[in-house]
Structure formats: C-alpha cells, structure tokens
C-alpha cells in the first residue's frame, strides 16, 4: 500500500513542488517550462494506450476461459472504470483548453505551445473560478474507486487535493496553482491526469487486466 503511494501520487507532488519552488523564486525560463509540459503530455498517451490494451487483453482472456459470468462481470467493471476515468480526464482537458485560450492567447502553431505562456493573472482568475469543480472531479474519482472496487484489496488512494503539510502547510491550490504561469498550470493538470491513469491501472490489474506498465 505505502509503496504505491511513493511511486505514483507522491511522484506527481514532488514534480510539481519543483515547479512551484521555481515559480516562487522567479518565473522559470519559457523553454524549460515548455519541455516539462511536453514531457508530461507525451507520458499521457502510453498511459491511455496501456489502459485500452489491458481491457482488450481482459476480454480475450475471459473469452478464452469460456465467457463465465464472473469473467463478464470483470469486463463490465473494467468498462465502468474506464468510462469514469475518461470522463474525469475530459473535464480536465476542458479546463486545459480554457487556460490555453483565455490565459495563453491560443496555441502558437510553430511551437505548439500557448502564445502567452507566462500569464499568471488570468491563470489565477481561471483556476480560482474552476477550483471547486476540479476538486470535486478529482476527489470524486478517488471516492468512486474506494467505494466501487473496495472488494479488490486496493492500495489506499490518497485524495489528489489534500495539499501538503511539510515543509510548510499549503493547500492544494497553493501547491499547484498559486502564482503559476500558463505552462505551469497546464503541467499541474497533466500530472493530475497521469495520477488518475495510474490509479486506474492499479484497479485494472486487480480485475485481471494484465500488464499495464508504460
């Protein structure tokens, strides 16, 4: 249980703490922030692909075993899980699009990055307005996993919005979005998506969906 905590969610928190510290000291060079964001976004595709392939493998395995009622039930639970994961991820994508359009002045076709990557004032306005909805989506997802799949002996999934207490107590908003540039806010949201995918992978494995390494 504790091992999973250290290797998934905490990884995301530590990465964002680097971004946060950098933002507090001075705005990180645009190029570096762009590389951070690009790396995180590139990691999303393998995570999604692994999830899709795992479900396919589960269906094939159940079919090979004669489509037992227990196997069909596992498939249904896996499909329900993927549907909920996709819904939360889509909601985050919508917020990312709002940030790019309203705070980042749209995409630069050459760099494939926001035209105004260092805007902090508009990010603050957007994130404060959307914080309740984002918090509900993220915490609701964790609560959904804990309730619907409690029979699977899952690791303890921490709430993604609980903030930190060390070295100084900070709220979820303060850790991830206070004084954040457009690029930093987009990176934070992408980390949330990666964490959700990691949680999903743990449940799929318990459902017998095979290897989800990515």
- Residue pLDDT, tens place only, 93-106: 999 999 999 999 99
Q: How many other CB atoms are found less than 10 A from the CB of residue 191?
A: 22
pTM, entire model: 0.83
Please give the DSSP secondary-structure letter assigned to residue 164: B
In sign, the C-alpha dihedral spanning 7, 13, 18, 21 is negative
Taking the C-alpha atoms of residue 205 and residue 72, their distance in angstroms, rounded to an integer, is 16
Q: How far apart are CA 134 and CA 131, in angstroms?
A: 5
Asked whether residue 3 carries a pLDDT value surpassing 80, the answer given is no
- Strand 107-108 vs strand 113-114: parallel, antiparallel, or unpaired? antiparallel
Could you tell me which residue, 213 or 123, shows the higher pLDDT? 123
pLDDT in tens, 47-105: 999 999 999 999 999 999 999 999 999 999 999 999 999 999 999 999 999 999 999 99
- Rounded to 5 degrees, what angle do the CA atoms 52, 189, 161 make? 105
Residue 112 has pLDDT above 80, yes or no: yes
């Amino acid at each position: 249980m504790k091992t999973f905590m250290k290797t998934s969610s905490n990884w995301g928190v530590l990465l964002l703490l680097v971004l946060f510290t950098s933002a507090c000291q001075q705005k990180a060079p645009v190029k570096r922030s762009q590389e951070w964001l690009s790396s995180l976004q590139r990691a999303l595709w393998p995570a999604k692909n692994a999830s899709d392939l795992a479900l396919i493998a589960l269906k094939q395995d159940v079919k090979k075993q004669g489509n037992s009622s227990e196997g069909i039930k596992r498939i249904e639970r896996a499909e329900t899980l993927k549907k909920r994961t996709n819904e939360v991820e889509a909601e985050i994508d919508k917020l990312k699009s709002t940030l790019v359009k309203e705070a980042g002045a749209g995409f630069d076709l050459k760099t494939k990055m926001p035209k105004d990557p260092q805007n902090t004032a508009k990010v603050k306005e957007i994130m404060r307005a959307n914080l309740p909805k984002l918090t509900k989506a993220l915490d609701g997802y964790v609560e959904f996993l804990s309730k619907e799949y409690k029979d699977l002996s899952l690791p303890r999934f921490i709430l993604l919005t609980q903030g930190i207490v060390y070295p100084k107590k900070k709220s979820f908003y303060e850790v991830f979005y206070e004084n954040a540039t457009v690029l930093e806010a987009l990176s934070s949201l992408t980390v949330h998506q990666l964490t959700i995918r990691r949680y999903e992978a743990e449940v799929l494995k318990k459902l017998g969906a095979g290897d989800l390494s990515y």
